[in-house]
A and B are shown apart, each in its own frame.
Chain A
């Protein structure tokens, strides 16, 4: 049976206001709302599509965070077979390398054919997790993938290039792929089905080894962008604003 492992991370929800921690060199995670990393969600979908197409066991591993159980049960409702929560994540975001090290130790024992991960996470400053993991697992890595099929010890994957060009890549298995988008949009599952999973499935907990929060690169400060050249904001109720926009359009000679 094909073994697929997916790493799914929760990341800050960018719709919320982001704040800097008192240290001045990290995000303040205490009040932050987190959501599933969009690209990891696509990686999950791709894994489930592969399972439906030709059979596979899908294991999801997620570092602990607020709401991680709900997220894991949701993946089970979509069709994931095994759920693992990685515990021992501290207050501060660990470097991707140290996260990759602890994950690699776990994943080696699972002997997977394919490891899928979102190609990046928007809060990363210490490189991308998936290629670091590939290196530690001694597997080939290809990222920015939108579409995968498996055939006789190889994966055929479509890698995105600028301008919409796709490169069809042939990759020896086992491999790590960084998913940009799944072949179909991530599916919706009803909350009732997720609840069912809460009763019928369990989440395994695995303790991570010691995680590093510093990479050698010195972070001097994190800050919100200085609003130097922000747009001229058009104020007023909707009618007034509509009038202002219309007169701009007239000035541009469009009306």
Chain B
């Protein structure tokens, strides 16, 4: 085993994903402690240029038509062969729909222990993970063999993993990639929807705490009074109460309004990663321990149904005063 820290560079449709830069930042911290280099693994087809902006020391590039876009099968076969040859100290994967598809099965295949949901590497080289929707933190250490780590967004800014100097490339020959069991047929772009929430200046985000479809009206009224729109967390979208174009977070949109008011949203990292860049966040939740209060500027511990009517009245009366 070497002391090098590897990371799997993620890219979709010719774009390097932010998580790749975030992992680079985390890997640099770990490499400082362990004393090795930071090495990006890039799998693709005619995609070598994607390495150019990453602050890694080297890139191991493997080129094959079957690696043009991510599929778990082709990626896993390639990674098994690559990691067997290089035997790094640790390998970072995004805790994303790409990274999490291969990291856990690789850990089983190669008998490498794995740590999930890491958000930070401390000065002493400990890994800090966030589980239970952000309500529990876990501090762990690398195992005594190659350790796999899935990295959540949020711990580092993508800029911390970017660089202007182009890393050196080492070419890696692909293994046999015939008879794959998983094939990408096509990408389906999302419905654009009636409004683009990523462009809105005021958003009222609703979560499971809204309880029933009928109650969404209350949030819409609030949004309308403030000249904004409603958006939602995943459970609301999964119920079919609002279209997917209004989903905020990991599998939805990233928003950066001047004001984000959240109603009955717990603040799971998959949601907050999409709202963290809002200028002001006001969170309304009946649970004093809700993690949403960790990212909000203002918090109110209250049953939203008790607060909403007085709030709508207050706002209306202020608006009437100023217009009259």
By a beta-carbon cutoff of 8 Å, the part of chain A in contact with chain B is 12, 14-15, 17-18, 20, 27, 38, 42, 96-97, 100, 119-120, 122-132, 134-136, 140-144, 156, 158-172, 175, 178, 180-181, 184-185, 215-225, 227, 229-234, 238-239, 241-243, 245-246, 248-250, 252, 254-255
Which chain B residues numbered 96 to 138 have a C-beta less than 8 Å away from chain A? Answer: 96-98, 100-105, 107-109, 113-117, 126, 129-138
Rounded to whole Å, the gap between the CB of A182 and the closest CB of chain B is 8
Contact of A171 among B138, B181, B187 (CB under 8 A): B181
A246 adjacent to B132 (CB under 8 Å): no
Which residues of chain B come closer than 8 Å to A238, judged between CB atoms?
A: 302, 306-307, 310-311
What's the nearest-Cβ distance from chain B to residue A81, in Å? 25
Task: Show 27 A/B contacts (Cβ-Cβ < 8 Å), sorted by A.
Answer: A27-B136, A38-B235, A123-B136, A126-B113, A127-B103, A128-B100, A132-B107, A135-B108, A160-B97, A160-B251, A163-B190, A167-B69, A168-B187, A169-B184, A169-B185, A170-B185, A171-B181, A215-B114, A216-B143, A217-B141, A219-B138, A219-B139, A221-B138, A231-B297, A241-B307, A241-B311, A248-B298
Query: In the complex the two chains form, is B253's CB within 8 Å of A140's CB?
Result: no
Check A231 against B293 for contact (C-beta < 8 Å). Answer: yes
Q: Is B214 an interface residue (CB 8 A)?
A: no
Task: Give complex CA distance A160, B70 in Å.
Answer: 12
Is the pair B132, A141 in contact by a Cβ cutoff of 8 Å?
no
A224 touches B307 (CB 8 A): no
Asked whether, in the complex, the Cβ of B145 is within 8 Å of the Cβ of A140, the reply is no
- Asked if B91 lies at the interface with its beta carbon under 8 angstroms from chain A, I say no
B297 A232 Cβ-Cβ under 8 A: yes
Residue of A20, A128, A218, A239 near B116 (CB, 8 A) is A128
With contacts defined as CB atoms under 8 Å apart, how many contacts are there between chain A and chain B in the complex? 276
B103, B247, B289: most-surrounded residue (chain A CB, <10 A):
B289
**Nearest residue, chain B, Cβ from A219:** B140
Interface residues of B, Cβ cutoff 8 Å to A: 12, 17, 69-73, 96-98, 100-105, 107-109, 113-117, 126, 129-145, 147-148, 150, 181-190, 202, 226-227, 234-235, 238-240, 244-245, 247, 250-253, 258-259, 266, 268, 280-283, 287, 289, 291, 293-302, 306-307, 310-311, 313-315, 318-319, 322
Judge whether B188 and A165 touch: CB under 8 Å: yes
- Of all chain B residues, the one with the shortest Cβ separation from A27 is B136
Q: What CA separation (Å) do A50 and B66 show in the bound complex?
A: 30
Asked whether B140 lies within 8 Å of A242 as measured between CB atoms, the reply is no
Q: Are B251 and A162 within 8 A (Cβ)?
A: yes
Q: How far is the CB of B273 from chain A (nearest CB, A)?
A: 10
Closest chain B CB from A29 CB (angstroms): 12
With the chains together, A134 CA to B291 CA distance in Å? 33
| B138 pairs with A222, CB closer than 8 A | yes
Given A217-B114, A252-B258, A252-B280, does the pair A14, B189 have CB atoms closer than 8 Å? no
Nearest 6 CB-CB pairings of A with B: A164-B190, A231-B299, A216-B113, A127-B104, A140-B181, A131-B105
Question: What chain A residues lie within 8 Å of B137 (beta carbons)?
Answer: 222-225
Which residue on chain B has the smallest CB distance to residue A130? B104
Q: Are A217 and B322 in contact (CB under 8 A)?
A: no
Contact of A143 among B101, B226, B318 (CB under 8 A): B101
B313 and A242 contacting across the interface, CB-CB below 8 Å: yes
Residues of chain B lying within 8 A (CB to CB) of residue A134: 105
Q: Name the contact of B145 in the complex, choosing from A170, A181, A184, A216 (C-beta under 8 A).
A: A216
- Bound-complex Cα distance A143 to B296 (A): 31
Q: Please, which residues of chain B bring their CB within 8 A of the CB of A255?
A: 226, 315, 318-319, 322
